Amino acid sequence: MIALGPSAKRPPHIWLEPLVSLRFSLTLLLALPLAACDREPAPDAQEQGELEGAKVGLAATIDTSHAGELMPAILLDDPAGRQINTGALQGGPVLLNLWATWCAPCVVEMPMLDELAGEYAGALRVMTVSQDMQGAEKVEQFFAANTFENLQPWLDPENALGFAIEGGVLPTTVLYDSAGREVWRVIGEYDWSGAEAREAINDAIGEDGA
């Protein structure tokens, strides 16, 4: 059985960055408890995220409260630098992960998501979409410093996708079926290497192909 429930109470990183829009900032402030509010880390936070990531706990849970919602049609920068509309991703299940280089829980998840992408190659598309407002500069450095065999750097420098899916904290990971409808989401760091994650994915893929 899959442990379904609300997202973890312990607040993961909020992805506010210095140049984030006023509308986005106000939405986050209204939607989240004050205890969950944070801001873009100081300039040395990139190093902190990489070095201290392994110390972060993996406590999030699967949330089905948004099930059935359509994937927003948002333009993203693909790994080749082209703009791709997320509507073009329909046709197969997609695990969409919103992350940032300065977010320690996000950094913890990346190797697990890379392994997951390899394990489910051909059956599930795993997309890691950066919310770094410096875009390619930061993300390319991060990918160059790490060895990922199956992940590619997708960019959303305006945070448009994160705002559209109401994902006010990072990491946020959403599973969409082949019709582009949400199955479930995970808000906060999660153990993607565990049996629960694979059972939830297998159940969703099985139902999608039935």
Tens digits of per-residue pLDDT, 63-104?
A: 999 999 999 999 999 999 999 999 888 889 999 999 999 999
Contact yes or no for 173/200 (Cβ under 8 A): no
Q: Is 33 exposed, middle or buried (0-12, 13-18, 19+ CB in 10 A)?
A: exposed
Domain boundaries, the chain: 13-209
pLDDT at 189 over 80: yes
User: CA-CA distance, 192 to 60, in Å (whole number)?
Assistant: 11
Convert the pLDDT of each residue in 113-164 to its tens digit: 999 999 999 999 999 999 998 889 899 999 999 999 999 999 998 999 999 9
What mean pLDDT, rounded, does the chain reach? 79
Q: Which residues pair with 127 in a beta bridge?
A: 96
The CATH class, in words, for 13-209 is alpha beta
Lowest mean pLDDT among 2-11, 55-64, 110-119, 183-192: 2-11
Pairing of strands 75-77, 172-176: unpaired
pLDDT at 1 over 80: no
Supply the pTM of this predicted model. 0.76
User: CA-CA distance, 190 to 104, in Å (whole number)?
Assistant: 12
> Token pair of 104, please?
């320690």
Three-state SS across the chain?
A: CCCECCCCCCCCEECCCCCCCHHHHHHHHHHCCHHHCCCCCCCCHHHHHHHHHHHCCCCCCEECCCCCCECCCCEEECCCCCEEEHHHHCCCCEEEEEECCCCHHHHHHHHHHHHHHHHCCCCCEEEEEECCCCCHHHHHHHHHHCCCCCCCEEECCCCHHHHHCCCCEECEEEEECCCCEEEEEEECCCCCCCHHHHHHHHHHHHHHHC
